[in-house]
Structure 1
Amino acid sequence: MRFTPKWKLWLLSQIGLTLIASSFANAQALSRDPTDPDAWRHSITPYLFLPLSTTGTSTVDGTSVDLDLNLSEVLDILQGAASVRYEGWNGDFGIISEVYYVKLGEDGNLPIGNATVDVDVRQTFFNVQGAYRFAEGVNVSGRRYAADAAIGVQWNRLKQEIDLAGPGPGMTLGGTEDWFEPLIALRYAVELNDKWSFATRATLSGFGVNGDDLQYVALAGFDWKGWENTSLRFGYQFYGIDYSTDRDGGEFAYDIDQNGIYAAVAFHF
């Protein structure tokens, strides 16, 4: 590969830390069974987030790199990803959980001393939330609407590691950080017709706990119930994170904002 003068390989590697997505702000709250309103309803939703724009700063061992990336640059270094969201509701109370994993990487040659560089970036999170539906009804158009709030805890793992090898001793920059943080969310959904619904959701987490000043998600989109127990979801999302901590080698930080398209398929049972 060709290594650019501005350390593009390192710069591109950092995008993985904010491929954190959230699933569609769905209309799960509208799916109460009229024949048994207190029966459990479940959904499993694999999802995908495609960041069209990523801007911010990544810091490894005290050295910062400015980011300004498009989707094609992200896809060039993507090595694997998996993400899924679960929701279970009984009456007005629900349980929500998400699992997310992404791995990015690249290797190449530095323009100095025939040295090689291997970049390994991985991000994982898992959260559990308790939810409560605090409003529901029928609007003036005769369509159902619902609103719910959630509170929970999220475990995060970020890895930014760069291995340098070549003439002389090699070296490793960066490393891995794990932390827990609190999370809150608010969601609103409304039916548009028998097949379509619209929903929006906002999520905040971190609040300065364990080095994460703030993570946010703001998204809006549509749900199309094309089959009895399956629906397709798509929309637009804004995401940001401001995390930093001190390591032996220097500051380890990630301050980024993204926006892009998300898509999902939801299975209801």
Structure 2
Amino acid sequence: MNHKLASAACAIAVIAWADAAIAEPFALTGHDDGQWRYVFTPYAFIPAGTTGTSTIDGTSVDLDLSLDEALDALNLAFSGRFEAWRGDWGLLFDGNYVSLGGDESIGLPGPGGGSLDVEVDIEQYWLTFMAAYRAVDTTYGDAGRRFALDLQGGLRYNSLKQEVDIDTPGPATKLGGTETWWEPVIGARGVWELNDNWAAAIVADFGGFGVGGDDLQVIATAGFDWRPERWTNTSIKFGYRYYSLDFETDDGDFAYDVSQHGPYLGVTFRWQ
């Protein structure tokens, strides 16, 4: 029975990490006048596939979730990224919040019958604070299109609540809890201007490195930034993302070793 309960809880909890999207491509604005420029991007990452192993209260289960299974567990999710740049230096803030839950009644064998009422409550959020430096800002090709490379580094705060309440004919039982940790983050972002309305970007982000129980957290994204003709300071971002997390508490009772992939979509607003 513990195996079944842990499997249900872990399946829902891992979806929370699916929204851990970071590092949306930054448009090549090209302002060198010393003024601050700002970018805000609300975005979503849709986990088309989730695989790996999850552990709650010392019980490990294998995960293999489809897109439909991930969306069925989702109650609320929102995320956004804010960037402030002046010259070649920038400050970046990325935040994500996810709320998930579910309940199920499981019949008990035997002549007495009865059932177990299982309720899963998940609340996960993380906040990332990074500084950025535009190490390369040049042109390429006969058309003189621009290319930029940004280097990034900072800290990320993670919080993950995962609780399973079991209501039985006898005493109620609660499994799981909340884990929080800080971890270092480094990354890089390359942006290619394709024409006046299109840009392509590749982003890689690495966190953890054994700090706070997170051995390694990887986010890699390839996508495009499209600005329609009549949109002056707004553009649409879309692409594909890979995400993986390898986290474990010191006692091994709570652990994630999962990877996910799927499309992402966002809208960017710019001003100065």
Give the TM-score category using the shorter length: over 0.9
> Aligned partners of 1:246 and 1:130: how far apart in 2?
30
Instruction: Provide the residue aligned with 1:32 in structure 2.
Output: 30
Alignment partner, residue 265 of structure 1: 267
Aligned partners of 1:65, 1:175: CA distance in 2, in Å?
17
Please give the alpha-carbon distance, in whole angstroms, between the structure 2 residues aligned to 1:163 and 1:65.
18
Q: CA deviation at 1:26?
A: 1.1
Aligned AA (2:172): G
Alpha-carbon contact 1:9-1:106 (below 8 Å) kept: no
SS at match of 1:10: helix
Give yes or no for contact 1:24–1:263 (8 Å, CA) kept in 2.
Answer: no
- C-alpha deviations, 1:223-266, integer Å up to 9, x for none? 0012101000000000000011046xx61111100000000000
| TM-fit CA distance, 1:9 | 3.2
1:61 counterpart residue number: 57
8 Å Cα contact 2:50-2:258 kept in structure 1: yes
Instruction: Tell me the secondary structure at the aligned position of residue 38 of structure 1.
Output: coil
- Give matches, 1:107-126, under 5 Å: 107-112=103-108, 113-126=114-127
1:150 and 1:20 map into 2 onto residues whose CA distance is: 21
In structure 1, distance between residues paired with 2:57 and 2:22 = 33
Show the counterpart of 2:111. Answer: none
Residues of 1 paired with 2:23 and 2:126: CA distance? 17
Identify which of 199, 207, 227 aligns with 2:201. 199
What is the TM-score with the length of structure 2 in the denominator? 0.92
Tell me if the contact between 2:23 and 2:205 (Cα under 8 Å) persists in the aligned partners.
no
Unmatched segments (≥5 aa) in structure 1: none
Hey, what's the Cα distance between the residues in 1 that align with 2:161 and 2:141?
50
Q: Match for 1:85 among 78, 81, 84?
A: 81
Which residue, 239, 246, 249 being the options, matches 2:243? Answer: 239
Distance 1:23 1:215 in 2: 11
In the TM superposition, what are the counterparts of 1:102-251 in structure 2 within 5 Å? 102-112=98-108, 113-141=114-142, 142-226=144-228, 227-246=231-250, 251=253
CA apart distance, 1:89: 0.6
Tell me the CA shift for residue 23 of structure 1: 4.1
Kept in 1, the 8 Å contact 2:10–2:55? The answer is no
Change (3 A) 1:77 1:115: same
Question: Structure 2 CA distance, aligned partners of 1:76 and 1:92?
Answer: 43
Native 8 Å contact 2:24 2:41 kept in 1: no
- How far is the alpha carbon of 1:25 from its aligned partner? 3.5
Which SS does the other structure have where 2:69 is aligned? Answer: helix
- Tell me the TM-score normalised to structure 1 length: 0.93
SS at match of 1:222: strand
* Separation of aligned partners in 1, 2:11 and 2:146: 44
Identity of aligned residues (%): 46
- Cα deviation code 1:51-88 (max 9, x no counterpart): 10000111000001111001110111100011000011
Instruction: Confirm or deny that 1:44 pairs with 2:40.
Output: yes
Q: For the residues of structure 1 that align with 2:155 and 2:115, how far apart are their CA atoms? A: 46
SS at match of 1:207: strand
- Size of the aligned set, in residue pairs, is 261
Q: CA deviation at 1:147?
A: 0.3
| Residue aligned with 1:17, SS | helix
In structure 1, C-alpha distance between the alignment counterparts of 2:125 and 2:10, rounded to whole Å? 20
Please say if residues 136 and 144 of structure 1, whose CA atoms lie closer than 8 Å, have aligned partners that are also in contact.
yes
CA contact (8 A) 2:16 2:100 kept: no
- Secondary structure (helix, strand or coil) at the match of 2:33 reads coil
